[in-house]
Amino acid sequence: MESVEVSVVIPVYNCEKYIEECLDSVAGQKKVSWECIIVDDHSTDNTSALIEGYLADSRFSYVKNDNNRGVAASRNRGVSLAKGKYIAFLDGDDYWAEDKLDKQYTLMESKNAVLSSTGRELMDDKGTLSGNIIGIPAEITYSKLLKGNVLNTSGVMVRRDVALKYPMVGDHLHEDYIMWLSILKEYDKAYGINEPLLKYRVVKGSKSANKIKSAKMTYGVYRYIGLSRLKAFYYFCFYMVKGVLKYM
């Protein structure tokens, strides 16, 4: 059996409108050997029936939580089941360009990297691409990441042993941001591919779309990881300025 280079972990909850586009983009990945672990966080719509059609391909696997556990626990469950050297996270309402995994795997191997992400193009709830592209620096350190989270989860690839060491926590905050900061506090840097290999859906009511709620959670992340109120406010000021510029 061919060894798995990348394990794709997709948490889903009531994603019937988007899941097929998401999974089609995984099925279209070439060159890199991959598996895709779909963790259904107790969906109540038609998501599971739509996923069933992909399971004829042995690279896809599906598990369903007995109750709604949240996105952090769902991603952690997927990581625990993974066999690949790397984990690539993808949310059920986003999708990838066809060469995303190949380009990112090549980068990770060449840099002996533990963490990387890609640029992204925003789309609306209906999947219409906006042309609004959010780039990413070539290198990201812990101190730079404190000034704003440039690592979008659906664009991230992380070494599996590192993901196991630093599982996602804090669903009430930005669970992904906590994970990236925890990793970069130990490791030297993360790397970015400044291409919109991720197509990112902005869904009304999501944590990222609600700017006031997102801002409060970002400040909460700073406090969660142990920053003093003064340091938390200092880095929060950077976050606010970048947030305004990003969507102009």
Assign 1 a pLDDT band (cuts: 50, 70, 90): very low
Inside any domain, residue 32: yes
Q: What is the pLDDT of residue 212?
A: 87
Which residue, 96, 221, 115, 191, is CA-closest to 159?
Answer: 115
Query: In CATH, what number is assigned to the domain containing residue 104?
Result: 3.90.550.10
Does 100 score more than 50 pLDDT?
A: yes
Inside any domain, residue 234: no
Q: Supply the range of the domain harboring residue 20.
A: 6-204
Inside any domain, residue 229: no
Specify the number of domains making up the chain. 1
Task: Quick: pLDDT tens for 127-173.
Answer: 899 999 999 999 999 999 999 999 999 999 999 999 999 999 988 89
Q: What is the pLDDT of residue 203?
A: 78
* Residue type at position 212: I
How many helices and strands in the chain, by DSSP H and E? 9, 10
- Interval 101-108 mean pLDDT: 98
Does 24 score more than 70 pLDDT?
A: yes
In terms of pTM, does the model score above 0.75?
Answer: yes
Inside any domain, residue 11: yes
Task: Quick: pLDDT tens for 116-138.
Answer: 999 999 999 988 999 999 999 99
Which residue, 134, 162, 130, is CA-closest to 242?
Answer: 134
Inside any domain, residue 31: yes
The total number of residues shown for the chain amounts to 248
Three-state DSSP class for residue 206: coil
